[in-house]
Amino acid sequence: MKILIPILCLISAVDLQDTPDGECCGEQEVDLSQHLELEAVCPELSGQIIGGRSSSIVRHPYQVSMVLNGNSFCGGFIISPNYVLTAAHCVQNVLPSAIRLRVGSTRRDSGGRIVPVANVTVHLQYGTPQFDHDIAALQLARPLTFSNAVQAIRLPQPRQAVPLVRLTVTGWGLTAPRGRRIPRIMMEANVPVVPHWLCRLSYGDALTNNMFCGGHFLIGGVSSCQGDSGGPAVFRGIAFGVVSFARGCALPLSPTVFTNIAALRDWVTQNTGVYEMFLIGYQFKVLSPIFTIHWGLQMRRNRPLWREKQNEKNRKHFESFKRELFARYRKDPLHLLRKSVQAKKT
């Protein structure tokens, strides 16, 4: 993190992305000073969807709104009839009996069904190092009845790589940086995944292998924000991440950081008993190994030696490019941002 000291001085402190209740779309201003106890304990920490659009629970039936003392404060998502996943910082030191979940509703303050929580399991290594292992499992007091508005979402395989695509993030968090209005209607945004090596230029050693980043790295403009914590980052029906923290909301050089579910998949299985069975993808290979071997040999024949050598050469060039970019960034952290601004002027 030493190389990022100039940036940290210019950009606001890291925010854990949760928020108290408020309204918008009928929106209503809320007093953000009356935040959860988290801000009193960690004033440097404190995310609604920035650059998103209105959505519906039918599009995202796994999404839930977490309610504490009558206020919506975080999101979560259903992974089985008995369990919901969320961020650890949302529920740490909170009694299970104080938490209520609203499921099956596009609105955060009405509709659907209120479900009590029987037990909260926070990852034992949460916060070591800071912000790491930001995941928790909520055991429901009674099983959910699935419908078109209440469904579980699939989880990735253990250690499955996060695809470099646009993930869909949902929630009821702030819709403008430093805003004071929280929407009643669920919002969604498509957030591009930032390569891990590139995100380390912004967060340094604070970014562990249990995290990944999403957002427009240079220009910002799209991200989760306060109130979206604990919600999922989804691609093709699989929840790859949990909204965790960011430095501000949708700021340049400060993408949102997500907990990497695939990296912590074993913990999820041990604490929820949810196993993801990928029989469709492997069934044919098990039943027909001869076809699998033939397919592999055919692919090998279709890839000539010169192409493999070229791919290796390209990989080495890319590694060299990353090293040069990192060295340049250490000397002048705002070089890339200034370059983009100059390009726009011309």
C-alpha to C-alpha distance for 15 and 96, rounded to whole angstroms: 24
Query: Tokens for 204?
Result: 């340094």
C-alpha to C-alpha distance for 225 and 248, rounded to whole angstroms: 8
Query: Tokens for 100?
Result: 């209520």
Contact 237, 163 (CB under 8 A): no
Residue 295 CB neighbours (<10 A): 12
Is 18 labeled as catalytic in the residue annotation?
no
Alpha-carbon separation of residue 274 from 82, 103, 146, 283 (angstroms):
10, 19, 16, 20
Is 229 labeled as catalytic in the residue annotation?
yes
Query: Tokens for 229?
Result: 């914590």
Classify the C-alpha dihedral 290-293-297-302 as positive or negative: positive
C-alpha to C-alpha distance for 179 and 30, rounded to whole angstroms: 10
Helices 305-331 and 196-203: crossing angle in degrees, nearest 10, is 10
Contact 104, 77 (CB under 8 A): no
CB neighbour class for 276 (10 Å; exposed up to 12, middle 13-18, buried from 19) = middle
Classify the C-alpha dihedral 216-220-222-228 as positive or negative: positive
| Catalytic site residue from 46, 65, 229, 254 | 229
| Catalytic site residue from 89, 223, 224, 254 | 89
Q: In 3-state terms, what secondary structure has residue 249?
A: coil
| Catalytic site residue from 15, 21, 109, 134 | 134
Contact 43, 196 (CB under 8 A): no
Residues annotated catalytic, as ranges: 89, 134, 229
